A and B are shown apart, each in its own frame.
Chain A
Amino acid sequence: MTPSQLCRNDRRMTGTAPKSPDLLRSLPGHRVELGDEGPLPLDCGETLEQFAIAYQTYGELNADKSNAILVCHALTGDQFASETHPLTGKPGWWEVLIGPGRPLDTERYFVICSNVLGGCLGSTGPKEINPATGKPWGLDFPFITVSDMVHAQKRLMDHLGIDRLFAVVGGSMGGMQVLEWASKFPERVGAAVPIATAPYHSAQNIAFHEVGRQAIMADPDWDEGRYLDSGKIPRRGLAVARMTAHVTYLSEQALHRKFGRRLQNRGELSYGLEADFQVESYLRYQGASFVERFDANSYLYITRAMDYFDLGADFDGVLANAFRGSPVRFCVISFTSDWLFPTTEARKIVHALNAATADVSFVEIDSDKGHDAFLLNEPEFHETLNGFLNGFAEQLDLPTADLKPLPSEDGSSDAERIS
């Protein structure tokens, strides 16, 4: 069965016009209107009567629908995980992991990646039109949580007729979604792979998010969240938010290796405020390019959703209760130089899984690339993930395969960061 047969009820993005900016209409992939089966109740107490989820698929679903892997994207990621991005023209954010002969092998698995609820690339979010007013939602959009994102994804799986996912995989905020899936819908998840993530968002991480949000809200063009009505974009604020966040995705070693104190296109210091240093120029570029593809209000909403994430709090304050009696096979992965979601956070997940005597593997990958390591070509990470998935595939009588080597110069090292 091909994805297009499977999803024949979906409106292709190129089809009839969704009530969203013109840009979205020309995006590739699928977009499905959900809510007919019942409104989506949100953690904040409000409900969404109708909502849309934009998603992309890679590979083919097998006859008994047992080979589906849901990939959950991070804060500023999207559904275009393994193809040239339609807006930026850059490689998909997880092309190193998704494809033939890669850990998420599209010759064996049916990989689904959906834009999160609250996102800005086709799924319902603050940028979309509020049916009640005919204008973009802006700050009238209800505040959503990681759990709400996962409940929306579950509706998508219902729509696709997939009762049980072979695996749910994701890094950073994607890893939070993986934990939500495994704890709230354990009967629908075979294996869960939370990568570079935490059982709750730490005070330090909330602090960084707050800096980013304040930068956006301090930009006069943000216009109390109504910038879309007036056709403005809070570019400066959103760019600063991105620059701050971007530093947290790297490591001191990675910054030093990449830039050191090298000067940008000049032989000497300017004794002014120009971007003298390469690292400044790099950050300015990251900020400037980000505003071309991401919605400022979405950034506010999704960072808030991450801040609110505290899985143990949903289970009487005892994280282990989230996993008691769980049939799910877990593989927790962290990276040594990740200081945003450090290994100590991953261990909290592992210790809770131990306390629940859950089926858990845990590996810490040696890398100096910081939080971004989960997006990059880290052979040990890929081997471990492949081995873990192969082990589970064997158990389910699904085919297994070894990794094929990546092309030596994979563009991934310069890929747009989407953590």
Chain B
Amino acid sequence: MSAQHSEDPHTRTIRPDLQLIADMIDDGSRVLDIGCGDGMLLSYLVEEKGVVGRGMELSQEGVNASVTQGLSVVQGDADSDLNTYPEGGFDYVVLSKTLQATRDPRAVLRQLVRIGSYAVVSFPNFGYWRIRLSLLFTGRMPDTPLLPEPWYETPNIHLCTIRDFVELCMACGVVIEEAYTVGAALRPRPIRSLRTANLFGQDGVFLLRKV
């Protein structure tokens, strides 16, 4: 899952889900990437889209890797530190595959749309058919490339389906501007039918804003 560089040094390619997120973000905007890992998306956004980028990451290794490559990243916890950012402080707040690892996803979701004019949220869809089948036939918690840890040590403590997430947004007064499903080898598809997306979407990617 490392950033790949194509032959032409001026056109970097990144994971399809990260590319989809990057495409949602306007050039030159102010972006806060929560759970930025080693800074893969953030460095792409800074270098290719000229954004003013900031990051937050829980793991020390991720923060050090990011800062060492010149990114502005703070060690912090989405559950406890988002209240330190001002309302409307950023054009976009990105939460890429991190929501399911927070203690209070609903509070985090509310913080995202408070801090950012827009929030971009992606997460693994627990309603994906492979996960459903895996649970049905093995009777065990799913073991997939995205959810590789056994249940007793996974950081993903609040897994949800695309349908669950859409309902949470509605309950929190969060407007869904755009919604897509995306998979490792799949092109992003706009969500038209929730039922279909919830069954065949590997990940959900949403562009959100406050009402």
Please report A residues at the B interface, Cβ cutoff 8 Å: 329, 331-332, 350-352, 354-357, 359-364, 366, 380, 383-384, 386-388, 390-392, 394-395
Contact = CB atoms under 8 A, between A and B. Distances in A.
Contact of B84 (A355, A386, A387): A355
A350 B90 CA distance: 17
Contact of B75 (A329, A363, A390, A395): A363
Interface of B: 30, 52, 54, 60, 63-64, 66-76, 81, 84-86, 89-90
A363 B67 contact: yes
Contacts of A384: 64, 67-68
Nearest to A400: B70
24 contacts: A332-B74, A350-B84, A351-B81, A351-B84, A354-B84, A355-B84, A359-B52, A359-B72, A360-B54, A360-B72, A361-B71, A361-B72, A361-B73, A362-B73, A362-B74, A363-B60, A363-B75, A366-B60, A387-B70, A390-B70, A391-B69, A391-B71, A392-B70, A394-B70
A259 to B, nearest CB: 29
A314 to B, nearest CB: 20
A383 B68 contact: yes
B30 to A, nearest CB: 8
A329 B72 contact: yes
A6 B202 CA distance: 64
Main secondary structure of the interface of B (DSSP, over half): mixed
Given A357-B85, A363-B60, A380-B64, A387 B69 contact: yes
A344 to B, nearest CB: 12
Nearest to B73: A361
A366 B61 CA distance: 10
Nearest to A348: B84
Given A362-B63, A366-B60, A355 B85 contact: yes
A391 B63 contact: no
B72 to A, nearest CB: 5
A392 to B, nearest CB: 7
Residue from A332, A359, A360, A361 with most neighbouring chain B CB atoms (10 Å): A361
B57 to A, nearest CB: 10
B78 to A, nearest CB: 13
A350 B67 CA distance: 15
Given A362-B74, A391-B67, 9 more contacts: A350-B76, A357-B90, A361-B66, A361-B72, A363-B64, A363-B75, A366-B60, A386-B68, A392-B70
Contacts of B54: 357, 359-360
A329 B85 CA distance: 17
Contacts of B52: 359
Contacts of B63: 361-363
Contacts of A356: 86
A363 B60 CA distance: 7
Contacts of B90: 357
A362 B76 contact: yes
Given A357-B85, A359-B54, A366-B60, A387 B72 contact: no
Nearest to A354: B84
